[in-house]
Amino acid sequence: MNIVTPREKEVPAIDPPAKDPPAWQLAEIVHALRQSREVSNKIRYRGHVRELPSRAALRDILDGLAAALFPTHYGDHILTDESIDFFVGSTLGNALSSLNEQVRRGLRFNKEDAGRDADELAARAAAITRRFAGDLPRIRAKLVSDLHAAYQGDPAASSISEILLCYPGISAIIHYRLAHALHQLGVPLIARLISGIAHSETGIDIHPGAEIGPGFFIDHGTGVVIGETAVLGENVRLYQAVTLGAKKFETGEDGSLVKGTARHPIIEDNVVIYAGATILGRVTIGRGAVIGGNVWLTEDVAPGSVVTQARMRQTRSDEAAIVRG
């Protein structure tokens, strides 16, 4: 008696391999794609720029910069007091050399740099990269203040090392601090690419043009959005899904959007904004205010206020609490 198990019954028959591979008509498709790129749907910058910055290269650069800033956390796990400086110097040198090339490519997209010849672009890229390198100790000092803010602000944090290794918020802030420095130095496209990389990795979207003071902490973080002209003071704490956005977009006479206007919130020192809050427009959230979860705000908030979905409680030193419906 032959017994057939269920597994044996489920095994499908295997088709024999095809004798001839399918024809993809590649020549025709390649020609049509060239026609699209060069003629019918051409989107190349200024009609001719082919050299673009590389997201893949920038990811490697960011890994190198993070390793140089925090070598025992993001660098080699077997570093010693004797080898650490050598590691930092070597890693940083490689990262800066690669960054210099990305900066050169990014400069082609600046209106003020578009007319420069190759030698001028190379010299300007080197100068920017040199200034960026000189800013790294200052950037690291701000990042350490961010780390302390995270440790002091989250009872679940057991150590600074845990925050560096595990928290997406600090990863996004590291990317932001580096991107902001490059944005200020005149390479906005490279800065935006870095913020895009952070967004894809952490779910946190911080425009590199935003101004953010030291002691910044993003708890959990997924869904946080901070717009280009937002200004955040010292010791600001945000939770997940907070939006600091624009209320409206101004348009010119031709109907196109007006660029560069101040359209995002100002968040003063020591403000806490809880999960899901949305703050829109050029409004000011006063020092020490607390914004509750899921609050929608389009107006100023006085210092020391506590805002919830139901009411605003305004605490002042010279009078009792005022409750507004």
Q: What is the pLDDT of residues 185-227, one digit of tens each?
A: 999 999 999 999 999 999 999 999 999 999 999 999 999 999 9
Q: Tens digits of per-residue pLDDT, 296-318?
A: 999 999 999 999 986 655 555 44
The residues, ordered by sequence, that sit 6+ positions from 268 with a Cβ below 8 Å of its Cβ are 233, 284, 285, 286, 287, 288, 289, 303
Q: How far apart are CA 170 and CA 276, in angstroms?
A: 19
Task: Give helix 168-184 / helix 118-153 axis angle, nearest 10°.
Answer: 150
123 — pLDDT class (breaks 50, 70, 90): very high
Whole-number pLDDT of residue 28 = 94
Whole-number pLDDT of residue 321 = 41
Q: How far apart are CA 166 and CA 177, in angstroms?
A: 18
Residues 173 and 218: beta-carbon distance below 8 Å: yes
Q: How far apart are CA 153 and CA 145, in angstroms?
A: 12
List, as one string, the DSSP characters of 236-255.
-EE-TT-EEE-S---B-TTS
Architecture of domain 49-203: Orthogonal Bundle (1.10)
Strands in the chain per DSSP E: 205-206, 211-212, 217-218, 225-226, 231-232, 237-238, 243-245, 266-267, 272-273, 278-280, 284-285, 290-291, 296-297, 306-307, 312-316, 319-324
Average pLDDT over all residues of the chain: 90
Whole-number pLDDT of residue 51 = 85
- Pick from 140-149, 229-238, 246-255, 266-275: least confident: 246-255
In this predicted model, which residue has the larger pLDDT, 21 or 173?
A: 173
In the beta sheet, which residues pair with residue 226? 206, 244
**CATH classification of 223-325, choosing from 2.160.10.10, 1.10.1200.10, 3.40.50.2300, 3.30.200.20?**
2.160.10.10
Q: Which amino acid is at 294?
A: N
Q: Tens digits of per-residue pLDDT, 257-300?
A: 788 799 999 999 999 999 999 999 999 999 999 999 999 999 99
SS3 108: coil
Task: Answer whether 0.95 is exceeded by the pTM.
Answer: no
The answer to whether the Cα torsion of 64, 69, 75, 76 is positive or negative is positive
Whole-number pLDDT of residue 77 = 81
Q: Which amino acid is at 159?
A: S
Is the confidence at residue 60, as pLDDT, over 50? yes
Q: Where are the domains of the chain?
A: 49-203, 223-325
Vertex 187: Cα angle to 227 and 190 (nearest 5)? 75
Residues 285 and 266: beta-carbon distance below 8 Å: yes
Half-sphere exposure of 122 (CA within 13 A, CB side): 4
322 — pLDDT class (breaks 50, 70, 90): very low
Whole-number pLDDT of residue 127 = 98
In this predicted model, which residue has the larger pLDDT, 39 or 287?
A: 287
Q: Tens digits of per-residue pLDDT, 142-155?
A: 999 999 999 999 99
Half-sphere exposure of 228 (CA within 13 A, CB side): 12
Q: How far apart are CA 5 and CA 190, in angstroms?
A: 60
Whole-number pLDDT of residue 318 = 41
Q: How far apart are CA 31 and CA 49, in angstroms?
A: 21
